[in-house]
Structure 1
Amino acid sequence: MNSKSSKFMPSLSREHVKKFIDSFDTVLTDCDGVLWVENNAIDGSPALIRRLVDLGKKVFYVTNNSTRNRQDYVEKCRKLGFPAEKEGIIGTAYLVATYLKEINFNKKVFLIGSEGLAKELDVAGIRYTGLGPDVMPEVWSTLRSVEGDIENHLDGEVGAVVVGFDPHFSYPKLIKAASYLSNPDCLYIATNTDERFPVNSRLVYPGTGSLVAAVTACSARSPLVLGKPNPYVADAIAKFHTLDPQRTLMIGDRGNTDILLGTKCGFQTLLVMTGVTSKEELAQWQCSENAEERSLVPDYYVNKLGDLIQFL
């Protein structure tokens, strides 16, 4: 069996951890579930990130969350005690706008998303439609009666469907997205496929991936996913900051996004247990004979990021 084992960082010697810290110059860190949960910083995370910056590490905040633009994230980081500048924020809202600008997209986007994504499209000069509520009539029997109304409101200038997190996701939006995508020339872009949000609650909060799954099923189209684990994230950073894969660390709480991105790019990887991934899942991946599951196994893991403070 070809398996990979992760090293539990706090159980290693101080010398081993120091060697690890000295082995990277650039840090890519996920945010939700790693640095904070909702609007609360995870104990020790701000101090650890500040210490890494003091040691001369270049830190990038890499998030699949598309609900905020880069300036929003700068403000949130600083409020919670994390040092941050706009250039160090790599969010999927920014990646979508950057990608569309790079390919000289000059049509209109049908947007399933929130204001953070819309703001980044505004900055890039990308036109869009669809932001905000789009609700069904109360009586389901009127579905056929609204068909003509919806069809009359399809915008002939739309050349791309972009799906991010949208708290107003609805049946009419699904109808419109799939209808636009029936044109094979219409681009289909997703910010990410994270299935759910890490929250301190017994409730399950569906993430963007749940919405993408609905659009994908209805349209019979597969999206270009720009967020983690797509290496486009690293490519976007490499345009203005030299990335040496062997001296880059990816920190995250998800195997199938954060750690997989690191694996694909040849980065060192560190998993924290304060978000989505459980120790049981990690153990399963480590023992798996499945190549896809083994690619989710990190080099190191910690209970929480702040556990490394004792070594610094």
Structure 2
Amino acid sequence: MAGAFGFKGCQKIRGPQIRNLLEAKDFFLFDCDGVIWHGEKAISGAAKVVNSLIRHGKNVVFVTNNCTRPRENYVHKFYRLGFTDVMLEQIFSSSYCSALYLRDVVKVRGQVFVIGCDGLRRELQEADIPCVEEADDPDATIYDCALAPDVKAVLVGHDDKLTFLKLAKASCYLRDPDCLFLATDNDPWHPLSGGRILPGSGSLTAALEVASGRKATVIGKPSRFMFECISSQFRGVDPAQCLMVGDRLETDMLFGSNCGLDTMLTLTGVSQIEEAQEYRNSELTTNHSLVPDYVVDTIADFLPAFEELDEQSN
């Protein structure tokens, strides 16, 4: 599809080009943080864009590496921020997809040791996947704590209560070569207000990879598995008819490229167009997978295209 609107590589589009893209695509995949909202504030015009896409009969799904809340909490957040048409079935978080992977792909038989928040545990419980219960004495150490006998997988996500003991236990479990090593995502950090950052799941996974000498299988973006989850739950998903809209080159654009999707970078989040242009001009061909097909300042740039489409239909 990129050839229909220009060569692949940071094409800034607006107006008629966006309208052509809207008409050409059936599935729209959106990242959330930095694309749809910042924290508890929706990006201006985002709710109207999402609701307009749904009203025009487009399939809209949300693919987020944020594993801290279960999907039903996402539905409440969408509704709270004005996205009144979003349903549970449209939300694909790395925690939900991790639960599907453990239940349906590897069919884990045994307990899962989780480094992560309550939201991740709740998604696993919804899928009837048993998790190791943490019941250690506050003074326990790796020298004297109990280790569960039937741990078949270690799953690492965002954990703001990470302890050295959790890291040590996970390292012990991973000495068993038959114990799976999974990560919800490999995001290194997340931006906070005031120029501060929050270490992401990827930083925790990296620590455990060093300690265990093993590499984790990543479930979330840029892995293809999230797209396979979508394809399994929506009939007739054709990559050529999909557009991935995100704010991070190393996850969202690479995810789209890995899955054969056209990609769009919105400049309301982490990555900026100068970084994309550097990747485009790089001599390393692997960097070209991080380059978006299209760039918009914000997804609110879709709104004039909807107005034109509505005028045509009247």
Q: CA deviation at 1:256?
A: 1.4
Residue 258 of structure 1: aligned partner: 252
Alignment of 1:235-246 (within 5 A): 235-241=228-234, 242-246=236-240
Alignment of 1:40-119 (within 5 A): 40-82=41-83, 83-102=85-104, 103-119=106-122
* Closer, same or farther: CA 178–47 of 1 in aligned 2, 3 Å: same
Could you tell which deviates more after superposition, 271-280 or 188-197? Answer: 271-280
Match of 1:186 among 179, 185, 188: 179
Structure 1 gaps, min length 5: 138-144
1:30, 1:200 → 2: CA distance?
Answer: 19
TM, length-normalised to structure 1: 0.91
Q: Is the 8 A contact 1:136 1:171 kept in 2?
A: no
Q: Is the 8 A contact 1:197 1:206 kept in 2?
A: yes
Residue 32 of structure 1: aligned partner: 33
Match of 1:146 among 141, 144, 150: 141
Structure 1 consecutive aligned stretches of length 4 or more whose deviation exceeds 6 Å: none
Q: Is the 8 A contact 2:113 2:153 kept in 1?
A: yes
Could you tell which deviates more after superposition, 54-63 or 197-206? Answer: 197-206
- Structure 2 residue matching 1:197: 3-state secondary structure: strand
Match of 1:156 among 137, 141, 149: 149
Residue 142 of structure 1: aligned partner: none
Q: Is the 8 A contact 2:141 2:165 kept in 1?
A: no
1:306, 1:78 → 2: CA distance?
Answer: 18
Q: CA deviation at 1:136?
A: 7.7
Q: CA deviation at 1:184?
A: 0.6
Q: CA deviation at 1:60?
A: 0.4
* Closer, same or farther: CA 131–7 of 1 in aligned 2, 3 Å: farther
1:225, 1:130 → 2: CA distance?
Answer: 23
Q: Is the 8 A contact 1:9 1:300 kept in 2?
A: yes
* Closer, same or farther: CA 226–135 of 1 in aligned 2, 3 Å: farther
Give the aligned length.
Answer: 297
Q: CA deviation at 1:240?
A: 2.1
Q: CA deviation at 1:37?
A: 1.2
* Closer, same or farther: CA 70–180 of 1 in aligned 2, 3 Å: same
Equivalent residue letter for 1:6: C
Alignment of 1:163-202 (within 5 A): 163-202=156-195
Q: Is the 8 A contact 2:10 2:277 kept in 1?
A: no
1:131, 1:258 → 2: CA distance?
Answer: 34
Could you tell which deviates more after superposition, 122-131 or 87-96? Answer: 122-131
2:31, 2:206 → 1: CA distance?
Answer: 23
- Structure 1 residue matching 2:28: 3-state secondary structure: strand
Residue 272 of structure 2: aligned partner: 278
Q: CA deviation at 1:198?
A: 3.2
Q: CA deviation at 1:307?
A: 2.2
* Closer, same or farther: CA 147–86 of 1 in aligned 2, 3 Å: closer
2:17, 2:8 → 1: CA distance?
Answer: 19
CA offsets per residue over residues 220-259 of structure 1, 9 Å max, x none?
A: 1101101011111111111121211111010111111111
Residue 207 of structure 2: aligned partner: 214
Q: Is the 8 A contact 1:37 1:198 kept in 2?
A: no
Structure 2 gaps, min length 5: 1-6, 307-314
Q: Is the 8 A contact 1:37 1:199 kept in 2?
A: no
TM, length-normalised to structure 2: 0.90
1:204, 1:120 → 2: CA distance?
Answer: 26
Percent of residue pairs bearing the same amino acid type = 38
- Structure 1 residue matching 2:50: 3-state secondary structure: helix
* Closer, same or farther: CA 131–79 of 1 in aligned 2, 3 Å: farther
Residue 9 of structure 1: aligned partner: 13
Equivalent residue letter for 1:89: I
Q: CA deviation at 1:130?
A: 5.4
CA offsets per residue over residues 122-164 of structure 1, 9 Å max, x none?
A: 11111112569x7986xxxxxxx934213xx111111110001
* Closer, same or farther: CA 67–135 of 1 in aligned 2, 3 Å: farther
- Structure 1 residue matching 2:170: 3-state secondary structure: helix
